[in-house]
Amino acid sequence: MTKAKQPSEKALRRAIVETALEMSQSGLSPGRSGNVSARWKDGMLITPSGRRYEDTAPEDIAFVAGDGSVAGGKFKPSTEWHFHLAAYRARPDRHAVIHTHSMHATVLACAHQPIPAFHYMVAAAGGSDIPCVPYATFGTEALAQHVAAGLKARDACLMANHGQIAIGVSLSHALELAFEVEALSEQYYKVLTLGKAQLLSESEMDDVLNRFKSYGRNAE
């Protein structure tokens, strides 16, 4: 199998803007909340801080080097660049990070409630649960360390009193997972209104995870 050609910087900047717009306009992350990044060279390209996505152009996307230094640009990178960079260090096999304040994921995060194996699609995040990492102030190294730990063996996690993060091999994969995490969060929240969730066994989730290794491969 031939290795996929890496997009140009211009194409990647445009894709980040398009992904951020879809995230915002779909309601996955309201207003100026959330942020989007993609691995680039030794660091990443990331949405700028506090800027409306509708007003963001490809040239407004900021570059943060692997050592955390920021090259001169029109706008500062998102204040959450620390945990994006930490995610790339923790998962060298993933190349895109999406952070949202989606409604139901944020509700569970504010209750410090991880998502257990109540539904087999929880395995879409790479394991038998979607963890909720501890709270730390936004934009801090402490939060970055919590996120790195949460994503070490998962492609998504909730952030206590904050929101959700999804990672992927590409922007489209990460965004798709972010939508899936929000759907699962809403489903789990509604299950909890009926009482205790009936969870799938560890062996069943292991079987699902094995099946997911080839799921959708023909559609790539």
* Among candidate residues 9, 12, 41, the one with its CA nearest the CA of residue 172: 12
CATH of the domain at 171: 3.40.225.10
Q: What is the pLDDT of residues 106-115, one digit of tens each?
A: 999 999 999 9
Question: Angle at CA 103, nearest 5°, toward 100 and 106?
Answer: 70
Averaged pLDDT for residues 170-198? 97
Compute the mean pLDDT over every residue in the chain, rounded to the nearest whole number: 93
pLDDT at 205: 97
> What's the number of domains the chain is made of?
1
Q: How far out from the chain centre does Cα 129 lie? A: 15
Q: Is residue 181 part of a domain?
A: yes
Domain of residue 143, residue span: 9-214
* Among candidate residues 186, 220, 165, 169, the one with its CA nearest the CA of residue 23: 165
Could you confirm whether 80 is annotated as catalytic? yes
> Would you say residue 76 has pLDDT above 90?
yes
Averaged pLDDT for residues 157-166? 98
Amino acid at 92: P
Q: What is the pLDDT of residues 88-146, one digit of tens each?
A: 999 999 999 999 999 999 999 999 999 999 999 999 999 999 999 999 999 999 999 99
* Among candidate residues 97, 90, 86, 8, the one with its CA nearest the CA of residue 46: 97
Q: Is residue 116 part of a domain?
A: yes
Q: Is residue 111 part of a domain?
A: yes
> Would you say residue 154 has pLDDT above 60?
yes
**CA atoms 179, 182, 188, 194: torsion sign:** negative
pLDDT at 216: 61
pLDDT at 210: 95
- In the chain, what percentage of residues exceed pLDDT 90? 88
Q: Is residue 127 part of a domain?
A: yes
Q: What is the pLDDT of residues 50-65, one digit of tens each?
A: 889 999 999 999 999 9
* Dihedral, CA of residue 144, residue 149, residue 150 and residue 153, to nearest 10: 140
Beta bridge partners of 96: 38, 168
Choosing from 18, 80, 182, 202, the catalytic residue is 80
